[in-house]
Amino acid sequence: MKKLILFCLVVFGLQTSYAQYSKLNKLLNILEKDLGSRANFENVNMDNRKFVFVKYFDTHTERYILSLEGEKATYIELFDDKITGKTTSKIYSGDALFTKKGILSVHCDHLEGQNTPNTITKNFIPAQQRDIIYLIELGTETRWISDSNFKK
């Protein structure tokens, strides 16, 4: 009985965060059309921030989390199977650095503590609309929204 209640709470919490992500993503679409993105991050501290990107499919949901802690980065891939209800994850760790032009470069070469030949390399442009801080991934132009915005 306790497991069933815990499972229901976890599913409800995931659905709530998905709804918040979608709502913020739609808001950013509107704001970028009106104002354009601003990338002035001289006074914004990016240390100890987490960014989230969610993809929805009919059979599963993919969630990606990027955690920045100084020059260290943790990249987490979560796959939620809607049919079986199981969640699988991969946790990568590596380095993060800002270039002189303000681009965030993340290079993760450790999979769950072990060196891996399949490195994850992502480049982002930081952006901000009103109080929403997010990263725009270069190449795909996907938005990774800061988790601090979900708590508001």
What span, in angstroms and rounded, lies between the C-alpha atoms of 104 and 10? 32
In DSSP terms, which residues pair with 50 in a beta bridge? Answer: 67
Residue 151: the pLDDT is: 60
- In 3D space, the residue among 132, 134, 114 whose CA is nearest the CA of residue 124 turns out to be 134
Using pLDDT thresholds of 50, 70 and 90, give the confidence band for residue 116.
confident
More confident residue, 14 or 25: 25
Using pLDDT thresholds of 50, 70 and 90, give the confidence band for residue 1.
low
Residue 115: the pLDDT is: 85
Phi, psi of 74 (to 5 degrees): -125, 130
8 Å CB contact between 42 and 135: no
3-state secondary structure of 148: helix
What span, in angstroms and rounded, lies between the C-alpha atoms of 73 and 67? 6
Structure confidence by residue, pLDDT tens digits, 134-148:
888 888 888 888 877
Mean pLDDT across the chain, nearest whole number? 76
Structure confidence by residue, pLDDT tens digits, 33-47:
655 555 555 556 677
